[in-house]
A and B are shown apart, each in its own frame.
Chain A
């Protein structure tokens, strides 16, 4: 059967109706924003709350207006990141959630049954850092098909550059360390990608894993001499400061030394969230434009890609450079956020953790990296809560005796399950859920 005989597919690929969720979203948000702001923020005065509410509503209304498709999609509309009404609804919800989440977490609201609300803020910030690194790692391993285990070496490189540029040279200037780390990551990343020009699959994996140990050697030989035996300290006088042009913001007061230090989960969230979101958007944009398409082409068939005019070697090295640059930046963020980095911050376990994150989240999906890192950090929290609060888990001594081992066992078990039954991971499950939701909403319509 040829294409033209099937009008159903022809229609579906070109026109859209706004979804139910999309139609009601502005109303939902309008109802929820003042409530949450009112309930959660004690240290903001009324006018700030009103201003934030109006700003969020204006943004949502503008996007809803701009993104409502009218008739056939033009190419410009078709190129959008969020093409379908359902995509747009979810994107708006995510954006809204990211803006509101810190206020909820910072409030003194306590959920029932001692659910670990208070510790969540630190976990959310770690998820942001890991999501950025894992997304970059997934771009290289999943999307570009260059199996690499050198990513933790680039986290270490980020810490090294953060230590030299951010701490030694500028005494805690993270904003200088970030671009420096990106640059260093891109250059060293391209060098670490050189084996990819000759090797594939398992052999490439071994070669890049070797690079990890080279970086650890650099750390041991060079850095312990300059930064001391324990590692680099990013805390105290080396903490990053808030830029002076932002001091007018609410809740930004100097501490007893008159310094505006980025400290506390709430402030860190507003540093980490935009950087993570922007760098992930950058990678998504790369994927949907020329060079990103070339990455996929090289992954699938390199001979065929080269006959389309793609310089395969250059494309591979660019994938390595891009991925390593972002990983190095997340290394800088992690260093300044966590406060100190030593040799055992970059052990083999960390390498495996990233592999777990992208396998559980979903191979070759940027979204999967976000889901994966959320899963990776929330699972221990929930498991801990279950051990303490749920009677049927609390009584099993075995679980309480070996908490971290069982954490790992659960993760390992899930990796096996997911590889066997759901190769596209949590991102795939999420896609299925969205499709199911769309179908059931559509069915209810008269």
Chain B
């Protein structure tokens, strides 16, 4: 019984002569925690960029998104902002935050797709606009509580430590309430404590908020302990796929990470 929320088939992204992703196929189970791993330059981020509409894959690729209770959508025919509105949210490896704005503004931007205040309503600050603004803030409050961001509400994001910035960005995608959450190395550059906090947050997003998590991660230890399903990329090719335990035993994976012996 497979119930995928996202399936991609024959996905190829080419930059000049370089194939960053070479006909990759796979699918993400609804409600699972799917991890995409691989060494540097394996094409992990490129894959996420292709799914979220930032890069256009070569013709022939198929990316299907299956929202719960609605007909499935061919993501390649949508623009990035439409994909976000369909319920696919993502974070960035090197932070997609708006550094000059404060934490509150950044989080409220996550509510953009759920608020419906028009420019003129906002300018006149009508009763309805205020009500919607308050509703957005109430939704933010849940995220703020979950991620312990209360102390930073009015701080410009650029002034905060890196670990907190990562949390703010995670909070922003949580505020979008997506069905599919794509996290691009959410734990890169974090201390062990911060990593454990982040794992806790990811778990609560998955369990309490009913999101499917698509995780790109470098740290094998983390992936092995939390993922339901792992896909391994190397040089743009899918080299293995399966449960974490299987991946730890797989020779090609070990070779990709540790290298192979070369006869001299």
Chain B residues, Cβ within 8 Å of A292: 122
B215 in the interface (beta carbon within 8 A): no
Separation of A288 and B125 alpha carbons in the complex (Å): 10
Question: Do A282 and B124 have beta carbons less than 8 Å apart?
Answer: yes
A9 to chain B, nearest CB (A): 5
Alpha-carbon separation in the docked complex, A6 to B150 (Å): 11
The residue from B84, B118, B137 contacting A309, defined by CB atoms under 8 A apart:
B84
Chain A, interface SS category: helix
The verdict on A293 contacting B112 (CB below 8 Å), with A75-B134, A76-B134, A308-B176 known, is: yes
Interface residues in B107-142 by Cβ distance below 8 A to A read 108-110, 112-113, 115, 117-119, 121-125, 129-130, 132-134, 136-138, 141
When the two chains form their complex, are residues B117 and A13 in contact, meaning their CB atoms are under 8 A apart?
A: no
B149 CB–A CB distance under 8 Å: yes
Provide the A270-303 mask, 1 if CB < 8 A to any CB of B, else 0.
0000000000001101101111111011001101
A306 touches B150 (CB 8 A): no
Chain B, 175-222, CB within 8 A of any chain A CB: 176, 194
User: Closest CB of chain A to B140's CB: distance in Å?
Assistant: 9
Pairwise interchain contact A13-B154, C-beta atoms closer than 8 A: yes
Do A297 and B84 have beta carbons less than 8 Å apart? no
Nearest to B114 among chain A residues (CB) is A309
A303-318 contact mask (Cβ, 8 Å, vs B): 1 or 0: 1111111111000001
- Chain B interface, number of residues (Cβ within 8 angstroms): 56
Most interface-central of A291, A292, A301 (chain B CB within 10 A): A291
Q: Given A296-B105, A304-B92, do A309 and B133 touch, yes or no (CB 8 Å)?
A: no
Alpha-carbon gap, A255 to B80, bound state (A): 63
A79-B130, A309-B85, A312-B81 in contact; A322/B119 too (CB < 8 A)? yes
Contact A289 B164 (CB under 8 A): no
Q: Beyond A294-B112, A296-B98, A309-B81, is A10–B122 a contact (Cβ under 8 Å)?
A: no
Q: Which of B84, B109, B113 has the most CB of A within 10 A?
A: B109
A306 vs B98: C-alpha distance when bound (angstroms): 13
Number of A residues near B (Cβ < 8 Å) is 39
Q: In the complex the two chains form, is B85's CB within 8 Å of A291's CB?
A: no
Evaluate whether A2 and B99 lie within 8 angstroms (CB atoms) in the complex, with A290-B122, A308-B109 already known: no
Asked whether B98 lies within 8 Å of A310 as measured between CB atoms, the reply is no
* Residue B235 CB within 8 A of the other chain: no
Q: Is B9 an interface residue (CB 8 A)?
A: no
The docked-state distance in angstroms from the alpha carbon of A289 to that of B133 is: 7
C-alpha spacing A301/B148, complex, angstroms? 26
- Which residues from chain A contact B161 at a C-beta distance below 8 Å? 1-2
Kindly state whether residue B19 has any CB partner on chain A within 8 Å: no
**B122 A79 Cβ-Cβ under 8 A:** no
Tell me which residues across on chain A come within 8 A of B149, comparing CB atoms: 3
Minimum CB distance partner of B101 in chain A: A296
Would you call B109 and A293 a contact (CB within 8 A)? Answer: yes
Which of A6, A76, A300, A310 contacts B112, CB < 8 Å? A310
Interface residues as binary, B70-97 with A (CB distance below 8 Å gives 1, 0 otherwise): 0000000001110111000110100011
Does any Cβ of A come within 8 Å of B262's Cβ? no
Q: How many Å from the CB of B185 to the closest CB on chain A?
A: 16
Closest A residue to B149 by CB, please name it: A3
Picked from B99, B115, B121, B151, the residue with its CB within 8 Å of the CB of A6 is B151
Tell me if B163 counts as interface (CB < 8 A to partner A). Answer: yes
A292-B151 Cα distance, complex, nearest whole Å: 24
Query: Which listed residue (B100, B108, B122) contacts A300, Cβ 8 A?
Result: B100
Q: A303-B96, A310-B81 are in contact. Are A291 and B163 (CB under 8 A)?
A: no
Q: A4-B148, A79-B134 are in contact. Are A289 and B112 (CB under 8 A)?
A: no
Q: Within 8 Å CB of B124, what residues of A?
A: 282, 285
Q: How far is the CA of A3 from the CA of B152 in the complex (A)?
A: 7
Tell me which residues across on chain B come within 8 A of A297, comparing CB atoms: 98, 101, 109
Known contacts A283-B123, A285-B122; A10/B84 CB under 8 A: no
CA distance A294 to B100 in the complex (A): 13
| Contact indicator B96/A301 (Cβ below 8 Å) | yes
| Smallest beta-carbon distance A385→chain B, Å | 39
- The reply on B46 being an interface residue by CB < 8 A is no
Contact pick for A13, options B105, B132, B137, B153, CB 8 Å: B153
> Which residue of B54, B119, B172 contacts A308 across the interface (Cβ within 8 Å)?
B172
- Enumerate 30 A-B pairs (CB-CB under 8 Å) in ascending A order: A2-B164, A3-B151, A4-B148, A4-B151, A9-B151, A10-B151, A13-B154, A75-B137, A75-B138, A79-B130, A79-B137, A283-B123, A285-B123, A285-B124, A289-B117, A289-B123, A290-B112, A290-B132, A290-B133, A291-B122, A297-B98, A297-B109, A300-B100, A304-B96, A304-B97, A308-B109, A308-B112, A309-B84, A309-B113, A322-B119
Not counting A290-B136, A293-B105, A307-B96, a sample of 17 additional A-B residue pairs whose C-beta atoms are within 8 angstroms of each other reads: A2-B161, A2-B194, A75-B141, A79-B130, A285-B123, A285-B124, A290-B108, A290-B115, A290-B133, A293-B101, A296-B98, A296-B100, A300-B100, A300-B101, A306-B79, A307-B83, A308-B110
7 shortest interchain CB distances as A-B pairs: A289-B122, A304-B96, A309-B113, A309-B84, A3-B151, A300-B98, A282-B123
